[in-house]
Structure 1
Amino acid sequence: MAIGTYPAWFLMQESRALLTRLARVKPFALVEPMVPAANLLPAAQSAIEGHLIAGRRELRRLVHGFMGWLDSGAAQRASAAEAQRRFAYLRLKFNAVLTQFDLFSDVVTQRSESESGVWLSGLDVLSADALALRGRYYRAPPVICYLDRGPGAAIRRARTRLPGGGTSPVAVIRVPRERMIGSGIASSLVHEVGHQAAALLGLVDSLRPVLRGLQQGAGDGAVAWGLYERWISEIVADFWSVARIGVAAPTGLMAVVSLPRAFVFRINVDDPHPVPWLRVKLSCAMGDALYPHPQWARLAAMWEAFYPTRGLDAESLRLLDRLQALMPAFVSVLVQHRPAALRGRTLAQVLDVAERRPARLSALFRLWTRVPALMYRAPPSLVFAVIGQARCDGRLSPEDESLLLGKLLTHWALASTLDTTQACAAAQGRSFTVTEGEPS
């Protein structure tokens, strides 16, 4: 049955209504009020706006194409059901565009919050620094942060699929609001940055064959090696955190997994996260392998005192014993691993772990206490490593730590904004000079 005049008219009106509502979806730069220091970094702002503009442009093209089809002879020969099927597809695309807008809107809207918005901008700077590697091993995507409830962080990695299609132009990290602000926030944040770095370097894919090989002929240890392989994605992210911020990584991790005993010892082979009790021990073992120091054993012993293994069932004890027995060998695999993406270098080498040795971090804190200006010029991830070490050494109180980090996050946010403004002004000046034909 042909579509008929009234159904065609009705669908044409609905298509025009879609275009009308789509026109009300404005760029964030026009609708989100915030102080300049809370702005997203230009690369992130540009990537998000560009992605959403492209989505809206494609949807307009599809709607106009459908409206043109309704006016064509082909539509008159089609059924009303066929026309409705095509329109329903457009509505799904329209809702996908709005879903992606709302996804980023939740992130951007927080930038208008007093104080927190500026601190989030500072965390963007920390994330970028934690992801950066000297040596051009990858092109780091923009990273933006936002706050949410709950004890743990999470990441939507750049270049992963978005709801409704397309890939995310930026990495979006959800930071637990309850950690604002102390050095522990860096543990959560840099762990999520580690997930993005691992994806860019293909670390999980390069480590899994190694771990599978170690399962062969391992006897009773095969199950333990299998679990390490199962957990490797989260462990690599923990490794990145330890390498970037030192002792702040395991102490921050303790705050996240300090749960009732039943949860700390829960072994779920389907969970990509290591059992929490073992995960803290593993973080300390990685720290000791990267920068040997008595503090790692002291932290591990304290964790065992918080959660003694006595009272566990025999099967769980045996499994934990096997995992701990293989832990030195497993950590050695991580430290010595040379993925193809690193062109023959190890993770420890490209992450410059020598700069995070506890003795050096303590010395920097003493120096910065005398000359605070030096702290504001240092890389943000190094600053968090130093502050985390000072907290662990008992040289910095939680109250002073929070005040100091608030100042630092504000400084990084403001500095990045001013640097960007200056660069834009310089670029505009060069462009104007050339246009006017004057000496550049």
Structure 2
Amino acid sequence: MDVVGEDGTRWATGLIDQEALALLTRLGQHRPFVLTETMVLAAALPYSAHRRIERFLHESRTTLRDEVEGFLRWLHGPGRHVPPAEQQRRFVAIRIHFNDVLSQVDLFAEVITQRSESGTGVWLSGLDRLAAEALELPGSWFDPPPVVCYLTRGPGAAIRRARTRLPGGRPNPVAIVRVPRERMVGHGIASSLVHEVGHQGAALLGLVESLRAEIRERGRRDRSATPWASWERTVSECVADFWSVGKLGIASTLGLLAVVSLPRFFVFRPPGEDPHPMPYVRVLLSASVGDTLYPHPQWAALADAWRACYPMRDLPVERRREIDRLEESLPAMAELMASHRSAALRGRRLADLMPVGERRPEQLIALHTSWGDDVGVLARQSPTLVFAVLGQARATGRIDPVHESRVLSDVLTAWAVRGSLDVLERDALPTPSPRP
């Protein structure tokens, strides 16, 4: 005997109907960010990024609303005559999609809401400018997506790359970089940020795949293939570090050193399945990349200082041998990345895409001497160059962290203001009249 019976079936259908109507009601409560978020204009997202985000979420909400309304029409029509189990199955699929849309909204809300924080929002807008310029390359290599930044707890940065899949399967319309609050403000924030931007640039150029193939071939030819097997596993992080050093010079390596200054156990821990190289070796590779791109005694001095902080004498013999083999391969690995050519690079070396002619230590020091603390001058320069100059000045003891933080705070604010004025000026331009 069916204990539910016809009354139970009608009740089940009614419950599903009400839940579907509730989804529509909650969906209607979500309004565009331009109606719900308060922020000064200088803290606003880049216009292209905000437009893509709003369009993305509008399309997601529209698609979901159509699905719910279509489900209700079916439920009130042919669906009335199907078992409640089938009605529930279809409703649950829609509800999963609804939760995916909420996850998308929450992701972008976290990015945008911080723009209303006093001071922080304006700094983030300045970092957006840094991230956008860090992704630029001389020439037309790819169509760069907008990049937006937000702060989070913890020591490490991360990126959700543009065009990767979000909850629900749709491609992300912008690149989102999460940077640690504890790094605001100093050259270290640029090191983390540009490293994450390097992941986006490497993906757009297919560098991880082409470098991995070259490293694998190098390992086949080399008598000691073990180090190359390690570089093959960690190449995605290595090329992002290369991008950061290429754009920032020693400011990148100093920022990395601060991030991985950890208890000895973690500094010497083998990566295993982790895509990051062993922290001890990773800092040394960053210095080796710097010496390959911008030869100078400072890189060897920095590497020696790092070794002095973490002496290997008390490590197990086998671990020391493993690290020694990796250290021996550092110059070759740095040169392999610098001289890498691929179809995406159109026959040019990867190093040729970096501003090598503008980041040599002696040039950066000369620029610091010339610019001083004049924010009016600094704000007119490319953001990565400004961070490179101040990082070099910090490395040589010309400025201290307090001074550096004050100057960078001022220049981030200036970039944010300049960006907001650029938007106002563009919107104020008259629309050209059509030709007769």
TM-score bracket, normalised by the shorter chain, equals over 0.9
Aligned length: 431
Mapping of residues 338-353 of structure 1, within 5 Å: 338-353=341-356
Q: One-letter code of the match for 1:345?
A: R
Q: 1:137 aligns with which of 136, 141, 151?
A: 141
How much has 1:390 moved relative to structure 2? Answer: 0.7
Q: Does 1:156 align with 2:170?
A: no
Q: Does 1:403 align with 2:402?
A: no
Aligned to 1:203: 207
Q: 1:93 aligns with which of 92, 97, 100?
A: 97
Aligned to 2:241: 238
Q: Tell me the SS of whatever aligns to 2:379.
A: helix
Structure 2-normalised TM-score?
Answer: 0.96
Q: Tell me the SS of whatever aligns to 2:431.
A: helix
Mapping of residues 269-280 of structure 1, within 5 Å: 269-280=272-283
Cα contact 2:131–2:147 (8 A) shared by 1? yes
Measured in 1, the distance between the counterparts of 2:231 and 2:350 equals: 18
Cα contact 1:111–1:118 (8 A) shared by 2? yes
Aligned to 1:104: 108
Q: Does 1:32 align with 2:37?
A: yes
Aligned to 2:64: 59
Cα contact 2:284–2:330 (8 A) shared by 1? no
Measured in 1, the distance between the counterparts of 2:39 and 2:57 equals: 20
Measured in 2, the distance between the counterparts of 1:135 and 1:380 equals: 18
Cα contact 1:227–1:269 (8 A) shared by 2? no
Aligned to 1:79: 83
Measured in 2, the distance between the counterparts of 1:320 and 1:396 equals: 34
Cα contact 1:362–1:390 (8 A) shared by 2? yes
Measured in 2, the distance between the counterparts of 1:81 and 1:310 equals: 67
How much has 1:215 moved relative to structure 2? Answer: 1.6
Pair 1:410–1:370, CA change in 2 (3 A): closer
- String of CA shifts for 1:318-375, please: whole Å, max 9, x gaps: 1111111111111111110012112111111112211111111111111102865332
How much has 1:134 moved relative to structure 2? Answer: 1.8
Q: One-letter code of the match for 1:215?
A: G
Aligned to 1:117: 121
Pair 1:372–1:63, CA change in 2 (3 A): closer
**Amino-acid identity (%):** 53
- String of CA shifts for 1:115-137, please: whole Å, max 9, x gaps: 01100010000000000112110
Measured in 2, the distance between the counterparts of 1:353 and 1:45 equals: 33
- String of CA shifts for 1:120-179, please: whole Å, max 9, x gaps: 010000000000112110111111111111111111111111123211111111111001
Measured in 2, the distance between the counterparts of 1:217 and 1:124 equals: 43
Cα contact 2:375–2:410 (8 A) shared by 1? no
Aligned to 1:359: 362
Measured in 2, the distance between the counterparts of 1:363 and 1:218 equals: 42
- String of CA shifts for 1:77-117, please: whole Å, max 9, x gaps: 31111011111111111111111100111111111100011
Structure 1-normalised TM-score?
Answer: 0.95
Aligned to 2:258: 255
Q: One-letter code of the match for 1:229?
A: E
How much has 1:217 moved relative to structure 2? Answer: 4.5
Aligned to 2:178: 174
Q: Does 1:288 align with 2:291?
A: yes
Q: One-letter code of the match for 1:378?
A: Q
Measured in 1, the distance between the counterparts of 2:388 and 2:240 equals: 16
Q: Does 1:18 align with 2:23?
A: yes
What value does the CA root-mean-square deviation take over the aligned residues? 1.7
Measured in 2, the distance between the counterparts of 1:352 and 1:236 equals: 16
Measured in 2, the distance between the counterparts of 1:175 and 1:76 equals: 51
